Chains A and B, each alone.
Chain A
Amino acid sequence: MTDLDATFFALSDPTRRAILARLARGEATVMELAHPFEMTQPAVSRHLKVLEGARLITRRVDGAKRPCRLNNRGIKAIEQWLAVMHKALARNYDRLDNVLADLHRTPSKGEPP
């Protein structure tokens, strides 16, 4: 099972989110990632290690290079939970809008008949 707590930790850092956004456009090597973020390659590698540990990215061997790409399985696991949560709460608050509108019309009594 994907460890979603590790996933959320990985996503809590803005640089790692930016790296994921870059990888969403396609595979990239450490060198290609280091350049736009103005970071050293060891610094990028540390972020990649966290992302890989959280199963948000995978790396393959291509000669001396180890290009990174998004791991769709890891990303879907978080999205699924957050999406379900978002939908349930959004539906509740949509209904609460109506409850509040009724209350507003009858402010002295708790409940309309």
Chain B
Amino acid sequence: MSKMVLTTEGDKYVVVTRRFAASPDLVYRAHTEPALIQKWLLGPDGWTMPVCISEPRPGGGIRYEWKDGKGNGFHLTGEYVELVPFSKIVHVERMHLPDPTPDNHVETRFDADGRGTLMTMRMTLPNARARTAMLATGMEHGMEASYARLEKMV
């Protein structure tokens, strides 16, 4: 299992790196094809993504809707800006909590790394208000629980 690294870059960006034991084309597809995105982009255990729209072309739309099965939910909208199959995705996204958070500009790169892929995602650091709204979605406790389970697995 590969360890994810999350760092801040100055006061503007968060950079996440993660290695995957699959080629860049597969990792890229898992980030752009709705049927694949719905299987993993879920946050804490118990959440599902019943609606997933992903139109991977410049200007194409993004809409993810999450539900926790207990009446809670929120959604995210966005647009693709630039796509270089199978190495780079640039998109903009915002969460609706229910007020929209400021636009998050995300650049994701997929570089061949031996037989696998090194993914590097650079995203805009949300402002304090957006961070508070994100923490207030009630996801935090679920994340604590799933992280504890993950720790046991590793």
A residues near B, CB below 8 A? 1-5, 8-9, 11-12, 80-82, 84-101, 103-104, 107, 110-111
Contact partners of A110 in chain B: CB under 8 A: 29, 33, 35-36
Query: Across the interface, do A88 and B139 meet the contact criterion of CB distance under 8 Å?
Result: yes
Contact partners of A103 in chain B: CB under 8 A: 22, 26, 29-30, 36
CA–CA, A81 to B101, complex, Å? 15
Query: Across the interface, do B44 and A91 meet the contact criterion of CB distance under 8 Å?
Result: yes
- Interface flags for B1-26 (1: CB within 8 Å of A; 0: not) read 11010101111001010101110001
Query: Across the interface, do A97 and B1 meet the contact criterion of CB distance under 8 Å?
Result: yes
Query: Across the interface, do A88 and B44 meet the contact criterion of CB distance under 8 Å?
Result: yes
Q: Does B131 sit within 8 A of A, measured CB to CB? A: yes
Contact partners of B127 in chain A: CB under 8 A: 4-5
Contact partners of B11 in chain A: CB under 8 A: 5, 8-9, 12
Closest B residue by C-beta to A4: B128
Query: Across the interface, do B36 and A88 meet the contact criterion of CB distance under 8 Å?
Result: no
Query: Across the interface, do B43 and A92 meet the contact criterion of CB distance under 8 Å?
Result: yes
Query: Across the interface, do A91 and B150 meet the contact criterion of CB distance under 8 Å?
Result: yes
Looking at the assembled complex, report how far the CB atom of A78 sits from the nearest CB atom of chain B, in whole angstroms: 9
- Flag the segment in B51-59, B81-89, B141-149 that touches A: B141-149
Query: Across the interface, do A92 and B30 meet the contact criterion of CB distance under 8 Å?
Result: no
Query: Across the interface, do B4 and A86 meet the contact criterion of CB distance under 8 Å?
Result: yes
